Chains A and B, each alone.
Chain A
Amino acid sequence: MDKRQYKYIGKSPDRSEALEKVTGRAAYVHDMELPGMLYAKALHSPYARAKIVSIDVSAAKALPGVKAVLTGEDAPYLVGLYMIDKRIIAKDIVRYQGEVVAAVAATDERIAEEAVSLIKVEYEVLPSVQTIDEALEAKILVHEDINDLEYMKGVFFPQKDSNIASWNKTVRGDVEKAFEESYLVVENEMYLPAAAHTPLETHAAIAEADPYSDRIKIWSSAQSPFAVRQLMAKSFGIAESDIQVIIPYVGGGFGGKAGIHLEPLSALLSKACKGRPVKYKATREEEFNQLPTRAAMRGRIKTGVTKDGKITAMKVYYDWDSGAYADYGVNVGKTAIYSGAGAYEIPNVEIHSRTLYTNKVFSTAYRGFGHLETHWVIERQMDMVAQKLGIDPYDFRMINILGPGKTTVSGEVITESTGSPSDCLKAVAREINWTGYQSEEEREIQRKTGKVRGKGLALLHKAPAMPAFTSTASIIQIDGDGKVKVMIGAIDIGQGANTAMRQIAAEVLDIPLENVEVVWESDTQKNPYDWQTVASKLTFMGGNAVIKAAEDMIKQMKEVAAQVFRCDVSKLSHGDGYIYHVHHPHKKLSYGNLARGYSYENGNAIGGVIIGRGTYIADGLTNLDKETGEGLPALVWTYGAHGVDLEVDLETGDVHILKIASAFDLGQAINKKMIEGQIMGGVLQGIGSALSEGLKFNAEGKLLNPTFTDYKIPSAKDIPDEIVPILIENPQADGPFGARGVGEHPMISVPSVIGNALYDALGINFHKLPLNPENIALAIAAHHTS
């Protein structure tokens, strides 16, 4: 189809559910009340690592209004995505400050809270694992039973008698030989702290567990209903089909609501209360401290280059301070071995990624997981190597950049269809008028004003991190009035996916947008399967599934129409809501006339109910080799780049962003307005990670900033003067209308580009996040005294 002929693709229709959201009628799990519903509250460990000596719940149980009090004894179940390592309620030992040690269900939240305060726990405090080095030393094991834990084999590699939940590797070529032959070798160590997703709606789940059978009904703020179902079934040892998961509106996810969280605990409480529905709504403090975060990470990188700037070798150790349970953490670590060299061709490479257990709140997926972190290391390193070589960092990137015919570190050969990182880098460099680093003299002139400008560039790439067998599906039903209802299994958590799916269905069926509805509330009893709403895969995989379902629907309608017109199906076409004969266009039947079978005048009917069906499974992916990391991990790469122009206040260390330009090769825009929304929002989240955010722990592993007061996310007053989204459209041959995913990418490399611009402004290379006024002012002071 010719691009210019699209009616809905690439346009900017309003968000489908906007009306419900601006009138306060959109109901989230937070807002749900069910008949007989009880309220849950939990008691949390005050210690990072301790033995539970005894728990006395008698006073809590005796409180009027309390219906159930559960401890670890009552919850003998392990749960986990990739490592089955986490108890629903801690038993015998607690592994992080904030871990649930007991839970209460009561007739209202106040009684539940009071009951929690009446539970007496005796702990024996134990020394804990707090740092990456302590984790690697393995003097203390966070999981003493690590050798016996069940895990996903062939994908993750836990190490015996250690705190290493998975050690993934890529080894390609001969790095040591290449380092020896290099003109220059540059080594650096980079670090970034753990970060919180902070969706405005905290996690919430309601469970209704039938006490007389295995059936469990869940309403959850989850991103991935089918994953909740599968993981809960595995944990409880019941059938997947006995669990129903319903997702109403979700108040933001960013990866933190993927996987399984409050659902099993709510279900156990419900079961203990004779099946009354139990609601567990996390407090803001629990959101920070009980529910998972983005892991802290240390990257140690060594790069070898030729004199003219060709990278010959790279060796990196990525060590993830991933907290007490593996959750998504091991998969975050896995991304590093196929993505963690950046969007560059590097002939000799060795990447080690170790996801480490520590006694801290555990970590999970966070928007573009693994990528913001590894790109903080890679993209800062690119600038630091360019500085040493005396080459413009733009030119240094262009010399090494991936493109058609070049090979990734996993051995995948890039083609025209993969997209163009260099188009992205060129676009942002042009937008910020990049002319190279300023000289020390130019800096000195600016210093007198108290403020110094600086510019920077950074590149990024990301592919969905998902199992090779990932699949999704769509069902389209049609009414007698010719209007269709599309059902998918993935969840619109605010990214606008349902609006994009609506545009795709309208385009393929060639009917007005108003005639397409994507059914909102997702229900595993009704919606077709989807693996998970993660990884920026929905537009690509869901879009392809919707296209196939719409085409299937057209095919069925043509088959009936061919009988009516007594012609071959090949003579029929479709458009404007009709199936028509290509040569005799007056011979036409509306979709509505075919929706439930076609009736002749004498009442005789043919055909039947038309239902379109489309499925899509990840194409050609493989697991990565245990030793070399070789394989095909990427269904779709999306490349991008940022350019930034900023100003630093030399006295306060405050960074003010004048302009940030962000380009992404997304193949084909489906909804421009919503893509720009993803870019604006993602870039600001990246700015949060860069400039202000980070969890702080004391020496005993207690989280010190579990509130919005002390964990600052950007407000409206912290936005850049200008964010310029640039959409680059080199189509992907197997993408829906050529499209690629872009939901997560805007956040990646934002800290790196700001770090690079700070070098340009100050002549100082920063190695640690966040780049808050305190850290910048201290670095300026240290730089001047040295």
Chain B
Amino acid sequence: MCDHEVKTNCFEYIDSQMPPVPLELNVNGESIYELIDPAMTLLDFLRVSLKLFGTKEGCREGECGACTVIMNGRAVPSCLILAIEAQGADIITVEGLSKNGELSILQQEFIKEDGLQCGFCTPGMLMSAKALLDRNPNPTVDEVKEAIAGNLCRCTGYKSIINAILSAAKREREALSNG
């Protein structure tokens, strides 16, 4: 919502005018090849081109974390990344969390601890949590808070989310030592 009269103070959409570019990447274990507008964000590529609506748009400016996905093992805000930056990347979205019709331990713990209310921040929250647990299977409370500090939630007060991540970490460690 900008002052369209005051050009210097205003965002104005300028079409890139560039021809479509090929994009090859892997999303949730599936190889994708598409011709895309080089100005397209990764968020728009997931939602508009691939119709993966699990990843949410909350602000389009990297402040709320609702669009978080995992790119090459790191949690990233997909609204701040151009789709072509994901060339050759491995992307995991919320749709890629469960395997063979079974929820991941993390998803199960979010349900059990009620780490969600309206559910709109949940996909991004799950991806930040998964990225954390993948690199640090035994996080402290402060490490969990740090990992999800960029994911805003207006409903839960975060406590139930933190509990869900900690108990998922515990169960995942147990599953690893038993298996």
Cα distance, A291 to B101, chains bound together (Å): 40
Cα–Cα distance between A233 and B101 once the two chains are bound (Å): 45
Q: A684 contacts B157, CB within 8 Å?
A: yes
**B60 contacts the other chain (CB 8 A):** yes
Segment with Cβ contacts to A, from B19-27, B83-91, B142-150, B169-177: B142-150
Q: Which of chain B's residues 82-103 have a Cβ closer than 8 Å to chain A?
A: 93-95, 97-98, 103
In Å, the complex CA distance between A249 and B107 comes to: 19
Q: Which of A21, A290, A719 contacts B158 (CB 8 A)?
A: A719
A713 to B57, CA, bound (A): 17
- B68 within 8 A of partner (CB): no
What are the residues of chain B within 8 A of A254 when measuring CB–CB? 154
Taking a contact as CB atoms under 8 Å apart, the answer to whether A708 and B154 are in contact is no
Instruction: Please report the C-alpha to C-alpha distance between residue A26 and residue B56 in the assembled complex, in whole angstroms.
Output: 11
Rounded to whole Å, the gap between the CB of A631 and the closest CB of chain B is 34
* A708 in contact with B155 given A14-B112, A24-B54, A251-B118 (CB within 8 Å): no
Chain B residues lying within 8 Å of A495, measured Cβ to Cβ, are 117
Residues of A within 8 A of B59 (CB): 284, 707-708
Nearest-neighbour CB distance to chain B for A515, whole angstroms, equals: 20
Q: Which residue of A lies closest to B161 (CB)?
A: A716
> Measured between alpha carbons, how far is A26 from B116 in the docked complex, in Å?
12
A27 is an interface residue with CB less than 8 A from chain B: yes
- Alpha-carbon gap, A719 to B122, bound state (A): 18
Q: Which residues of A contact B155 (CB under 8 A)?
A: 252, 494, 677, 681
Do A46 and B6 form a contact, CB below 8 Å, given A706-B1, A723-B159?
A: yes
Which of A111-119, A174-182, A314-322, A543-551 lies at the binding interface? A111-119
Q: Is A562 an interface residue (CB 8 A)?
A: no
Q: Which residues of A contact B52 (CB under 8 A)?
A: 24
A617, CB-defined interface residue at 8 Å: no
Closest to A708 in B: B63
Name the interface size band of chain B.
35 or more
Give the distance to chain A from B148, nearest Cβ to Cβ, in Å. 5
Q: Which of B57, B60, B111, B162 contacts A19 (CB 8 A)?
A: B111
Contacts of A713 in B (CB 8 A): 152, 154
Chain A residues, Cβ within 8 Å of B161: 716
> What total count of A-B pairs have CB within 8 Å?
189
Question: Chain B residues near A680 (CB, 8 Å)?
Answer: 156-160
Chain B residues in 8 Å Cβ range of A22: 94, 97, 103, 107, 110-111, 116, 119, 122, 126
Given contacts A119-B4, A677-B160, A707-B63, contact A202 B58 (CB under 8 A): yes
* B93 close to A24 (CB less than 8 A): yes
Q: Are A494 and B63 in contact (CB under 8 A)?
A: no
When distances are taken between beta carbons in the complex, the residues of chain B under 8 Å from A283 are: 1, 60
CB-contact partner of B154 in A24, A250, A673, A685, under 8 A = A685
Residues 672-702 (chain A) with a chain B CB within 8 angstroms: 673-674, 677, 680-685
Give A681 to B1 CA distance when docked, in angstroms.
30
Chain A, 266-298, CB within 8 A of any chain B CB:
283-286, 289-290
- A494 CA to B154 CA in the complex, in Å? 11
Given the complex, which residues of B lie within 8 Å of A117, measured CB to CB?
A: 4, 10, 12-13
Distance A21 CA – B122 CA, assembled complex (angstroms): 7
- Known: A680-B160, A716-B158, A719-B159. Is A43-B56 also a contact (CB below 8 A)? no
Contact partners of A123 in chain B: CB under 8 A: 5
A570: CB under 8 A from chain B?
no
Within 8 A of B (CB), among A1-39: 14-15, 17-28, 30-31
Bound together, the chains give a CA A290 to CA B118 distance in angstroms of 23
Total number of A residues with any Cβ neighbor in B under 8 Å = 69
- Flag if B13 contacts A113 (CB, 8 Å): yes
- Chain A residue numbers with a CB within 8 Å of B152 are 198, 200, 708, 713, 715
Are A17 and B119 also in contact (CB < 8 A) when A110-B13, A707-B59 are?
Answer: yes
B81 within 8 A of A: no
The verdict on A674 contacting B4 (CB below 8 Å), with A24-B54, A716-B162 known, is no
Given contacts A200-B118, A680-B160, contact A717 B1 (CB under 8 A): no
Of the candidates B1, B10, B54, the one having the most CB atoms from chain A within 10 angstroms of its own CB is: B1
Q: Which residues on the A side are within 8 Å of B151 (C-beta)?
A: 716
Instruction: State whether the Cβ of B15 lies closer than 8 Å to any Cβ in chain A.
Output: yes
Interface residues in B119-142 by Cβ distance below 8 A to A read 119-123, 126
Is A494 a contact of B119 with CB atoms below 8 Å? Answer: yes
B55 at interface by CB-CB < 8 Å: yes
Contact among A249, A685, A708, A717 for B149, CB-based, below 8 A: A717
Given that A250-B118, A494-B155, A709-B63 are contacting pairs, would A24 and B110 also be in contact in the complex, using a CB cutoff of 8 Å? no
Distance between Cα atoms of A752 and B160 in the complex (Å): 25
Find chain A residues with CB under 8 A from B3 CB. 46
Cα distance, A44 to B1, chains bound together (Å): 6
Q: How far is the CB of B133 from chain A (nearest CB, A)?
A: 15
Question: In the complex, which residue of chain B has the Cβ closest to the Cβ of A31?
Answer: B53
Q: A21-B116, A114-B13, A289-B1 are in contact. Are A200 and B153 (CB under 8 A)?
A: yes
Q: B: which residues have CB within 8 A of A?
A: 1, 3-6, 10, 12-13, 15, 47, 52-61, 63-64, 66, 93-95, 97-98, 103, 107, 110-112, 114, 116-123, 126, 144-146, 148-162
- Nearest 4 CB-CB pairings of A with B: A24-B54, A494-B118, A251-B120, A21-B119
Q: Footprint of B on A, CB under 8 Å?
A: 14-15, 17-28, 30-31, 43-44, 46, 98, 110, 113-114, 116-117, 119, 121, 123, 197-202, 249-254, 283-286, 289-290, 493-496, 673-674, 677, 680-685, 706-709, 713, 715-717, 719, 723
List 30 A–B pairs whose Cβ atoms lie within 8 Å, in order of A's numbering.
A19-B103, A22-B107, A22-B116, A22-B119, A23-B94, A24-B54, A24-B94, A31-B53, A44-B1, A46-B4, A110-B15, A114-B15, A117-B13, A121-B4, A198-B154, A199-B120, A200-B58, A201-B58, A201-B120, A250-B118, A251-B120, A252-B154, A283-B1, A290-B1, A677-B155, A685-B157, A715-B150, A719-B145, A719-B157, A719-B158
